[in-house]
């Protein structure tokens, strides 16, 4: 309450001056409170402005959204700061719908992807399902990434999964299982967890609509410990210790079985360069393959080369991707061989484990007709050694090719169509072919 004092009440001039100063201070404080109340009452609650058609009108540059007021932006694009920490977070992924039509040929079990090792071979023992159309969204993906800079280098942790796991049914709910893809941490030069094998180069994977992709390319995700040393000029050298699971074919049975005596991990040494013209890497793989108790073990060695080369003389964003891999006892690292054959066999005459030589590769070309219209053409082949004591219907190799056209009306949306052809070859030379057409709609966030 404002203090009131008359000059007559003041006994001295000093006391009068003191009282006047106190009144002035109280008046100033009251004036500030009144102005604050006026400002609070003068800001009405307004609905978002709308343009024609009921859509929100574009915001002015000086307008701030709720996210900008209450969520702090991260250091990198599309990230935000986790409240109460200095860690940046990103949520990413996509929703993808695939419409697949088998035009010719049959596959045994594989419907949602094109596995050439599952093609039914004429005259062979494999029996497939009837040709059919299939619509699914199992490739849809969801991932979370967290990170921040540290004195040891950038810290990053990633969890990513899709819906290509086992389970689910098409009768009622199509409830496909959420399946782990990546789960790893990285700080500076050290990576630990499940990620693409160090032998692989994800940057050189052809852009296909088919989830399976090339028959002969190096493809595996697994747990590992990796150290990468970066040199000047875009060069790096990496060494990794990775999960040693192997596949050994027991001729007494007709399918590959997992060996249980993998007590030595797989070792990978990789050299890589990243330049304005593209990327190139070479890797050396060393493994120990055991056939089980009393069946011995063998040292498996393989090598691979991956590359992505920009070809601006054909188009500003055009590129060529390629890969080749060769070795003994490395079948698990080649996509089609891993599902159709094995790393080694048990010789029924000697009871000892014997490594199988396998190789594979692909070459693909991506051309941009327009900034938002592109095509990829691809050819791939793979082969695995077979022994005389193996059944005639044993998988020996495959060919795979694909061509597509993908339109992106906006950067977050891909609408495409792809033609896929594949051929499986058995040990006895019998072959089976399949032709598919796939249409896809992908919405990335």
For the segment 138-153, what is each residue's pLDDT rounded down to a tens digit?
Answer: 999 999 999 999 999 9
- Give the length of the chain: 445
DSSP three-state, residue 207: coil
CA–CA dist 170, 108 (Å, integer): 18
CA–CA dist 61, 50 (Å, integer): 16
Find the distance separating the first CA and the last CA of the chain, reported in whole Å. Answer: 58
Residue 248 forms beta bridges with which residues?
257, 344
CA–CA dist 259, 328 (Å, integer): 16
**Tokens linked to 292:** 């089980």
Q: Is 61 exposed, middle or buried (0-12, 13-18, 19+ CB in 10 A)?
A: exposed
CA–CA dist 5, 336 (Å, integer): 98
Please identify every stretch of the chain with a pLDDT value under 50, giving residue numbers as ranges: 1-10, 45, 47-48, 51, 53-56, 59-62, 125-128
What DSSP string describes 235-250?
A: EEEEEEEE----EEEE
Q: Is 309 exposed, middle or buried (0-12, 13-18, 19+ CB in 10 A)?
A: middle
- Asked if residues 22 and 29 have their Cβ atoms less than 8 Å apart, the reply is no
DSSP character at residue 177: P
CA–CA dist 216, 239 (Å, integer): 24
Residue 293 confidence (pLDDT) = 64
**Tokens linked to 324:** 């080749």
Q: Shortest CA distance to 378 belongs to which of 335, 314, 320?
A: 320
> Taking the domains of the chain in order of start, what are their residue ranges?
1-38, 73-444
* Beta pairing, strands 235-242 & 266-275: antiparallel
Residue 331 forms beta bridges with which residues?
none
- Asked if residues 51 and 36 have their Cβ atoms less than 8 Å apart, the reply is no
Residue 261 confidence (pLDDT) = 62
For the segment 46-103, what is each residue's pLDDT rounded down to a tens digit?
Answer: 544 554 544 445 544 445 555 555 678 899 999 999 988 999 999 999 999 999 999 8
Taken in order 307, 310, 315, 316, is the CA torsion positive or negative? positive
Q: Shortest CA distance to 240 belongs to which of 277, 281, 278, 205?
A: 281
- Asked if residues 222 and 332 have their Cβ atoms less than 8 Å apart, the reply is no
b/e per residue 34-49 (b: at least 16 CB within 10 A): eeeeeeeeeeeeeeee
CA–CA dist 100, 439 (Å, integer): 7
Residue 366 confidence (pLDDT) = 98
Residue 14 confidence (pLDDT) = 79
- Asked if residues 206 and 185 have their Cβ atoms less than 8 Å apart, the reply is no
DSSP three-state, residue 384: strand
DSSP character at residue 444: E
- Asked if residues 419 and 402 have their Cβ atoms less than 8 Å apart, the reply is yes
CATH class of 73-444: mainly beta
CA–CA dist 344, 346 (Å, integer): 7
Residue 128 confidence (pLDDT) = 47
- Asked if residues 269 and 226 have their Cβ atoms less than 8 Å apart, the reply is no
């Amino acid at each position: 309450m404002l203090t009131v004092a008359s000059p007559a009440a003041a006994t001295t001039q000093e006391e009068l001056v003191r009282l006047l100063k106190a009144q002035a201070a109280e008046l100033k404080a009251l004036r500030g409170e009144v102005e604050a109340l006026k400002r609070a009452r003068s800001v009405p609650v307004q609905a978002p402005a709308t343009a024609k058609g009921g859509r929100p009108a574009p915001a002015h540059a000086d307008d701030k959204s709720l996210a900008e007021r209450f969520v702090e932006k991260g250091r990198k694009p599309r990230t935000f700061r986790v409240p109460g920490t200095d860690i940046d977070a990103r949520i990413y992924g996509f929703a993808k719908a695939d419409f697949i039509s088998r035009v010719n040929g049959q596959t045994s079990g594989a419907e949602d992807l094109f596995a050439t090792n599952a093609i039914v071979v004429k005259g062979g023992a494999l029996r497939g399902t009837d040709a059919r159309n299939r619509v699914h969204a199992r490739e849809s993906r969801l991932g979370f990434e967290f990170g921040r800079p540290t004195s040891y280098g950038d810290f990053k942790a990633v969890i990513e999964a899709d819906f290509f796991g086992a389970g689910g049914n098409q009768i009622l709910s199509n409830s496909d299982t959420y399946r782990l893809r990546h789960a790893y941490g990285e700080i500076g030069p050290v990576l630990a967890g499940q990620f693409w094998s160090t032998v692989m180069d994800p940057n050189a994977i052809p852009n296909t609509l088919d989830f399976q992709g090339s028959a002969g390319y190096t493809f595996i995700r697994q747990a590992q410990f990796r150290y990468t040393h970066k040199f000047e000029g875009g060069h790096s050298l990496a060494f990794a210790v990775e999960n040693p699971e192997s596949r050994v074919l027991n001729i007494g049975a007709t399918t590959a079985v997992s060996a249980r005596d993998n007590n030595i991990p797989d070792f990978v040494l990789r050299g890589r360069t990243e330049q304005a013209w593209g990327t190139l890497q070479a890797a050396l793989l060393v493994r120990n393959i055991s056939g089980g108790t009393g069946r011995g073990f063998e040292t498996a060695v393989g090598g691979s080369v991956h590359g992505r080369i920009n070809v601006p003389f054909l188009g500003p964003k055009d590129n060529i991707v390629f890969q080749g891999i060769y070795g003994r006892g490395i079948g698990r690292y080649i996509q089609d061989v891993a599902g159709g054959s094995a790393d080694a066999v048990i010789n029924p005459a000697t009871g000892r484990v014997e490594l199988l030589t396998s190789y594979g590769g692909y070459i693909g070309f991506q051309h941009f007709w327009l900034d938002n219209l592109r095509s990829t053409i691809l050819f791939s082949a793979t082969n695995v050694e077979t022994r005389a004591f193996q059944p005639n219907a044993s998988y020996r190799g495959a060919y795979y090719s694909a061509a597509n056209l993908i339109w992106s009306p906006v950067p977050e949306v891909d609408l495409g169509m792809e033609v896929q052809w594949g051929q499986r070859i058995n040990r006895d030379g019998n072959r089976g072919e399949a032709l598919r057409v796939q249409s896809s709609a992908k919405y990335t966030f």
